Amino acid sequence: PDITAPGVNIIAAYSGGISPSEMDFDKRRIPFITMSGTSMSCPHVTGIVGLLKTLHSDWSPSAIKSAIMTTGNKLTNLVYS
């Protein structure tokens, strides 16, 4: 991939259309499945690309990449309760 959004403990979720084990014989289904890790940034970046493409349908892939890579903000001293 051209773009990644590195971070720590990024949470992503996906549909319960498949089982938690992803095995064919496992017939369990749950509403959504969450995963955590730095590689989970891919769904977030994909969503941002989709949003930008919807808002700016005339933008090229290079323009979208540039917008994502040049408009980041660093957040510090976050407190979660």
Ranges of each domain in the chain = 12-71
pLDDT for res 20: 73
Q: What is the pLDDT of residue 8?
A: 66
| 61 in Cβ contact with 43 (< 8 Å) | no
**10-residue mean pLDDT series, the chain (81 residues):** 66 71 82 69 82 95 89 65 50
- 51: helix, strand or coil: helix
pLDDT of 4 reads 67
Rounded to two decimals, what is the model's pTM? 0.53
pLDDT at 50: 92
